[in-house]
Each structure stands twice: as C-alpha cells, then as structure tokens.
Structure 1
C-alpha cells in the first residue's frame, strides 16, 4: 500500500489556474472521485494534495477545498501541501494563518519565476521560517536549476526539503549525465529527500521500464531508501501514461527491494516527513 505524496486536483469553476491555458492536454477538471476510483484499485491508501500553482488570490480557496475533501467520510486525502509566495511581504502572517490540521507542507514552483527569486535573502529567510514551523518545503525546479536547489538547501539547513519529480530530468533529451552529477551533489545534504513522482511525463510516449530505470535507480542509490517517497503527479503523469500504468511501472522498478525498503519508500518515509 502506498501514500501518494503528489496529487493535483483541478476545480476550474472555483479556482483559477492561469497556466492551464497553455496545457490543453490537462485543461479540464480533475476530480477527487475520478482519482479515488483508480487509487483504490492500485493500492493507494492515502494521499497528499499538491498545490496546482493556482492564481495567488486563490491559494486560501484551494486549501479550503482540500480541507472539505479531507472531511469526507473515508477520504484518502491526508493533508495539503500549500502554495505560497516566500518572496513576498506578509509571508510570515500567511504562514501563521495556516491550519496545521490541513497544511502539511509548502511549495513554491521555481521553474516559472526568474532564477534569482530563490536566491534572495528574503526568500531564504522565509523558507527558514517554514522549517521552524515544522513544515517541509517541496523543491520544484527544472533540471537546469538543480544548482539553485543545492544553494537553497545549503542556505536553510534546518528546513526539510523534498525534491519533486526526481529533479525533472530531461529524459526525452538524453541529459542523464549532467542530471546525475547534480543529483549526487544534492543528495549529500541529509535534510533533502527525493520524490519519485510521475517521471514518465518527461520522456517520450514510447517509453519502457528500461527508459526510466537509470533515473529511479540513481535517485535511490544516492538518497537511500530512507529519503525517498513516491508520488503519482496525477494528472500530469497522464501526458505519457496513466495513473495505473505509473503505479505498475513503479512496482516493477522496485521489485528487487526488500520488504523493509519497499515499506519505507511506499509509506513510512512520507508519514515521517509530513507528520501524517
């Protein structure tokens, strides 16, 4: 049984997602009911909702939406990783206002803003505040920005980090060597974890297990079984697969792991990192 640490739900009649206009394959509602049907079939026992880079003035609405879903009897949702703007004034007040029963972590997508955003003293001081609140910070960067992730981790040694999507490797473009070198460097930071989540989206439609295997194995080798978690990245994973295909691929890729290793990866690490 798995905890899915990276579920996106889209509710367009209530929340605005400006980026969706440029992603026609994803530009529709993605409901909890649709996800739950597949999740219960493939062995997902719980999930964290990952913010969907909604319009800034809809962040509180998105968190309230997740809270409502959590309150449903039998809900799989265990909490929310909230969107945030650590680069802006008033962030401390925003952080203090969050409901700890709902909000389990914070994310600011960094590949959609200038590189210098995460390098400012103000941003880093606020990421340090996130750590003082006991909340992990998800790092969402493109492969070329992995050095920014390393710098941010070094600037905030007391904040727990989780690298999304294996660092978004350019699998389709064949950029393995540069990615692997950066990952090895980042993994030396013991307060950084890695999320193996929906990386089929970064390859070509004709991918196979052997396409993904070097990336998954390198993440596990460098971070170790105690610092890796699983995520679906649904619905983004549907760009080149489906939720059940991504789960099947994951199961095949970790088939040789011990029971202790599988349990750590599939759920125990997530419970520890996000205090579930």
Structure 2
C-alpha cells in the first residue's frame, strides 16, 4: 500500500485558518478530495493521512466528516487544546471516532520555544498514550530541545516529526538541526516525515539541496522510521505534487525496493493504522 502520510483539505469560509492569507495566493482557495483524487491516481497512491490546518476542534470534526465519506482517507490527525484542564476528556472523546489516528498542536506557532516541555501538558500526552494516538510534532529546530525533554518523560508515546523539523535549507545552516535530529532519532518510538522540505529550501532549490538532509535522516532513523508525505496543497507554493513525488523517488533511489516501499507507505501504515486496529 502506498500512502501519502501528510495532506490537507480546507474551506476558507470556515474562518479558522489564521495563517492562510491572500498573500499565499496559490493556496488561498478551497481544496477538497476532488482536487487531490487525480494526483493520487496518477502516482498510484492508495490512501492518505489527512492532517489538521486550524487550531480548533471544529476543524477536526470537519476533517473527520470528510474522511467518513472519502475512501482514500485512511485517518485524520486532528487538534485539541493540550493546555486545557479538560484535555484528557477531549482526547478520549475525539478518539472515539476510529478515523482519528493522531493529534497535532501547532507547536511552530507557539512563541514559547520550550512549550513542549511544560509539565502541564503531561495529562494530554498520557491520554494520547492511553488511546493509542500518534503525536505529530510540528516544529522547527529551535523546538527540538523541548521535544527531547518531552520524549524522556513519555517514552511510550508514538511520535512523528513533521517536515523533518523544517531544517533551514534556504541558508544551508543545518549543523544544529543535524545534531538535534540525531538526538531525537535515538528514541525508538519516534518516526520522521519526509515532507515540507522543498517549502523550506528556497526558490532556487535543486535535488542536491535536499540530498544531505535525506542522507542524514536515513543514517539516524533508517528507512524503517521514515515516512513520505506530500504536504499538499502547501507544497504547491514551491512545486507541483508530481514534482515532489518524483524528487522523493530520486532521493530514495539507492534504497532496496522493500525499503522504498516502507518509506512510501509501509511505515505510515504501521505507525498510524495497523497496530491501532484502524486498517
């Protein structure tokens, strides 16, 4: 099974996408299953993981409704307020929908770089463990230290780092990112998404711009903990869905067929679906 483990749908009229402004003209419109279906068919992608794009439970409900009527969507990564006193109850309620496979606070928009390390978030993380949900860590290199603190406190929480923690490919200054991701990868319950990289790479990016990042991720996580995702439609700020798919295929060309299959679907199925009884 080939799985796109990171894609979005949205309807602007919902009004809860604070980051999505007219300045982002290529993606400042509605996107739904009908827009994505031809791309999935073109590249032989069987299922997707639909990921939140607004920090509201209302949007999570909206995505779960889409998933319920869209066979290609295997699961939803939603949102809840991790800081709320009632977060464990909210997580229990949301997890009652079998299509919910994970949760994602928008960490990279939080002003406090140490937010993930706050002890007050522990009840929410423990509730995720109790309900077999994946924590999608949307962060930047400056948040890795807090992630490491959180990992030490919650060693059984399944985690995937979205967009490889957004290395600063535009400047090429990735030494701190390399050290941080090496430390994160030392925790065996952590996976990493190969997604969102071209958006960080700058307009003049080339495949070779990404190769050192992919090589490092393969070295520290191995092909059994890397997961491909498109980050569509955000990816179209830089390239087409097809161009990113082809670029990823090129970057993974030295893997065995079995390893490529794992990155392009098998690992996502194992993390999000199989051992949670979703699919």
TM-score by length of structure 1 reads 0.93
Match of 2:83 among 75, 78, 87: 87
1:3 maps to 3
- Would the alpha carbon gap of residues 209 and 105 (structure 1) be closer, same or farther in structure 2, given more than 3 Å must change? same
Determine if contact 1:193/1:227 at 8 Å carries over to the other structure: yes
- 2:110 is the alignment partner of 1:109: no
Pair 1:77-2:78 in alignment: no
Alignment of 1:1-276 (within 5 A): 2-14=2-14, 16-21=16-21, 23-25=23-25, 26-54=27-55, 56=56, 59=57, 61-72=58-69, 75-98=71-94, 99-113=96-110, 114-275=112-273, 276=279
The aligned residue for residue 276 of structure 2 is: none
Whole-Å Cα distance in 1 between the matches of residues 113 and 185 of structure 2?
Answer: 21
8 A Cα contact 1:49 1:80, kept in partner? yes
Equivalents in 2 of 1:39, 1:15: separation in Å?
28
Q: Give 1:72 deviation, angstroms.
A: 3.0
Provide the rounded CA distance (Å) in 2 between the counterparts of 1:22 and 1:34.
20
Does the residue aligned with 1:105 lie in a helix, a strand or coil? strand
What TM-score, normalized to structure 2?
0.92
| CA–CA distance in structure 2, aligned partners of residues 88 and 81 of structure 1 | 19
Give secondary structure in 1 for the equivalent of 2:53: coil
* CA positional deviation for 1:70: 2.6
User: Which ranges of 4 or more aligned residues in structure 1 deviate by more than 3 Å?
Assistant: none
C-alpha distance in 2 between matches for 1:202 and 1:71: 32
Deviates more, 1:141-150 or 1:245-254: 141-150
Distance 1:262 1:116 in 2: 35
Counting matched residue pairs gives 271
Contact 1:15 1:62 in 2 (8 A): no
Tell me how far apart the structure 1 counterparts of residues 2 and 214 of structure 2 sit (CA, whole Å): 17
Displacement of 1:207 after TM fit?
1.2
SS in 2 for 1:256: coil
Residues 41 and 150 from structure 1, CA distance in 2 versus in 1: closer, same or farther, beyond 3 angstroms? same
- In the TM superposition, residue 206 of structure 1 has moved relative to its aligned partner by 1.8
Report the CA distance between 1:23 and its aligned residue.
5.0
The alignment partner of 1:207 has SS state of coil
Query: Could you say what secondary structure the match of 1:44 adopts?
Result: coil
Q: 2: distance between equivalents of 1:206 and 1:216?
A: 18
Gaps in structure 1 of 5+ consecutive residues: none
Q: Distance in 2 between matches of 1:77 and 1:95?
A: 21
Query: Hey, what's the Cα distance between the residues in 1 that align with 2:20 and 2:141?
Result: 22
From the superposition, tell whether residues 23 and 39 of structure 1 become closer, same or farther in structure 2 (CA, over 3 Å): farther
Deviations 1:112-161 (A, max 9, x none): 11224322212123112211211110111112221122122112111011
Q: Gaps (5+ residues) in structure 2?
A: 274-278
Contact 1:118 1:124 in 2 (8 A): no
